Structure 1
């Protein structure tokens, strides 16, 4: 989720501070991604420490004992809000800000805006229902297995949609993928012709 927010930050940076954005290096981009991952792990660390101190994990199992009645429940809600809910809100605000900014600048090329918009819509459709359900479950303890299954499936589908949406939204990426498929198809065709030629030669 936070990597989606990094994309939103990238678009905001490009539009609202274009001079410094042009001076951005690969090292800067790598540092942003690394800081994002470090932040996520720091937020999750307190719950993992509490889990190791107060609960015994069975060999081969990997989960955290979160219950409505224990202290880890408050931590779980906080993690959900900070790592999942706030980035979604940020993406929506960023998408609106980028759209307004591009309209005011009369940009002709909207590749970045298109990418941000489709990712934002995808996140809203696939993730918001599950996040709302999860937060209410942590607060009230109410759980419906069928609803949980359907929403978690929709939640996981988003990971499949991301690569497809990125390819669709970026013409250069789309052209590169199409070129790769054409090369693969031509290579297979050439191999077929070579095998057919060898077969005819061996026959005669």
Structure 2
């Protein structure tokens, strides 16, 4: 399996000039090559940066209102999308405008390949964390409520970043840092020898195909768990006591029979009932949270199936047959693949009510950043 810069790339089909092309490289260097895919890539880049960046800033600045364990996974995905868009897409768009050669330095090529390989694997893994979180919440709700916290979700996100860099970054470093070729013609990871080809195949399966498969299978798994749990609940249902006419209990006291109100007939509201109402309210809130998480997973599964599947099919076919070539299909797959990073913030806004509430308050009362957010922004600026 050969990994180029456009493998798992967000946008472009890289076109390289050869000596027998109909136009000269000098003319291509002078005049930018604006195409429909280039314009679309620019629009997706702008929408994606604004959507991911603004939503990430909203989650970081709104304090405890949005700092929930599940929103940590969302912030992790927004961060990966933002870094990938900022590091990869400008170079990708510029390379599409002047497609005949790599017009930037070796350092720019290294950054481009890092985003195309490492950060793209982090993005896949961030989507995977959201799907696994939903499966955990449905399959093991007791352990999910007792163990899951902001600290737990933060540690899981950090573990994913470390795992991806430990497993994927050496492949990037082996080619970029140890290869002294001049990047005058193309910017790509060229496998040299059987070892790198096997390494590329393992990376493709573990960090791209496997997350895609788990995300696709998450909804069926959740439905199977719910159906089995519903069948088990029907078996364990306790039948209620027999009731008399108009819903009155049949075991009335003798005093109530003669028209004298007994103590047991007086409505009682013990403290346990208030505790029960509180527990019921908490259960309703928990069910609403699960439903919103389910809606988010449903929307994410649909968009990922539409955006990622064509690109993955193309590379699987190219792995099977090295002579496989379908330029039109690849261009369509690249356009669809580019949409996922721009669609993620929209999906979160549609599925999560707390995010919609905060956005609505900002739109109604103006984009006022509180003092806590200003302190965080200033502290980040000092650290940078």
TM-score scaled to structure 1, two decimals?
Answer: 0.77
Q: What is the aligned length?
A: 185
Question: Cα offset for 1:163?
Answer: 0.7
Distance 1:182 1:99, change over 3 A: farther
Structure-1 residue corresponding to 2:208: 84
Structure 2 runs not aligned, ≥5 long: 1-123, 234-283, 369-384
State the distance in 2 between where 1:164 and 1:140 align.
37
Equivalent residue in structure 2 for 1:129, among 310, 335, 341: 310
Cα deviations by residue, 1:51-80 (Å, 9 ceiling, x for unpaired): 25763243698531148x864333323222
State the distance in 2 between where 1:174 and 1:88 align.
28
Structure-1 residue corresponding to 2:72: none
State the distance in 2 between where 1:152 and 1:175 align.
34
State the distance in 1 between where 2:176 and 2:306 align.
35
1:151 aligns with 2:276: no
Would the aligned equivalents of 2:176 and 2:189 in 1 still touch at CA under 8 Å? no
Query: Whose helix proportion is higher, 1 or 2?
Result: 1
Would the aligned equivalents of 1:77 and 1:135 in 2 still touch at CA under 8 Å? no
Runs of 4+ in 1 over 6 A off after TM superposition: none
Cα deviations by residue, 1:81-110 (Å, 9 ceiling, x for unpaired): 211111111112222122343454599631
1:47 aligns with 2:171: yes
Would the aligned equivalents of 1:99 and 1:113 in 2 still touch at CA under 8 Å? no
Structure 1 runs not aligned, ≥5 long: 188-204
Alignment of 1:53-72 (within 5 A): 55-58=179-182, 63-66=188-191, 71-72=195-196
Structure-2 residue corresponding to 1:38: 162
Alignment of 1:167-182 (within 5 A): 167-182=349-364
**Structure with higher RCO (Cα < 8 A, 6+ apart):** 2
TM-score scaled to structure 2, two decimals?
Answer: 0.43
Tell me how large the CA RMSD over aligned residues is.
2.8
Question: Cα offset for 1:43?
Answer: 2.4
Distance 1:113 1:100, change over 3 A: farther
Distance 1:178 1:102, change over 3 A: farther
